[in-house]
């Protein structure tokens, strides 16, 4: 057997190990995170977690582009507070709606309308414009300050994947999903994520960014 033939299996193994190592490095955010939550936290801390530009329709059926320049929505707010909902949700989404209603009033009281925007994104392909309008009506969500919106299923699935947001059908017509509040700049960069109960911290983070960002 020639030396070249003998070396063949070892070269193939080295290539596999190299590719596997590269994949592991990427999946663990540079070997610094070993769970999905840790990886997501690492990406947020490094400000490498982004929401892609997303074409949606809001509660009035108006087309908008979120998290990207040059969309139908115009320049838009300097920062958004974003949550992920579905209108049939009987638990988490109701709590989020109540919190966003309070935040909406706070944005107005602080004179930050137009600088801080609220976005509730439905990931349920069953949600129609009428469903979005019904959810908006329940919590007095008024556009453009608070957009209740949905995108095409493929586009929403891509955003959930890129943002590492979990929404899993529970087999009973609903979803298991997290209730995090995402503070996102105008370009889609996720600045911070806050648990449901820490919505005031999410607002404080958005307020600090909006006041520091250029108009």
Element (H, E) at 182: strand 181-185
Element (H, E) at 17: helix 3-27
* DSSP label at residue 189: B
93 annotated ligand-binding residue: yes
113 annotated ligand-binding residue: no
Q: What gap in Å lies between CA 163 and CA 3, rounded to an integer?
A: 49
Q: What gap in Å lies between CA 189 and CA 202, rounded to an integer?
A: 15
Please provide the size of the chain in residues: 215
Q: Give the annotated binding-site residues.
A: 89, 93
Q: Give the annotated binding-site residues for Cu cation.
A: 89, 93
């Amino acid at each position: 057997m020639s030396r070249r033939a003998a070396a063949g299996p070892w070269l193939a193994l080295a290539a596999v190990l190299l590719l596997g190592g590269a994949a592991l490095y990427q999946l663990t955010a540079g070997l610094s995170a070993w769970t999905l939550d840790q990886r997501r936290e690492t990406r947020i801390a490094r400000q490498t977690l982004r929401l892609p530009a997303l074409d949606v329709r809001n509660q009035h059926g108006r087309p908008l582009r979120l998290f990207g320049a040059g969309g139908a929505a115009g320049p838009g707010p300097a920062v958004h507070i974003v949550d992920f909902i579905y209108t049939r949700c009987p638990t988490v989404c109701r709590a989020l709606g109540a919190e966003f209603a309070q935040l909406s009033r706070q944005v107005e009281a602080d004179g930050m309308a137009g600088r801080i925007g609220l976005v509730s994104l439905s990931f349920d392909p069953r949600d129609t414009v009428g469903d979005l309008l019904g959810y908006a009506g329940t919590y007095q969500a008024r556009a453009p300050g608070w957009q209740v919106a949905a995108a095409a299923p493929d586009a929403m699935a891509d955003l959930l994947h890129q943002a590492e947001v979990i929404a899993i059908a529970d087999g009973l017509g609903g979803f298991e999903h997290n209730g995090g509040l995402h503070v996102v700049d105008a370009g889609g960069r996720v600045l911070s994520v806050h648990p449901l109960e820490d919505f005031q911290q999410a607002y404080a983070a958005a307020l600090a960014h909006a006041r520091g960002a250029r108009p």
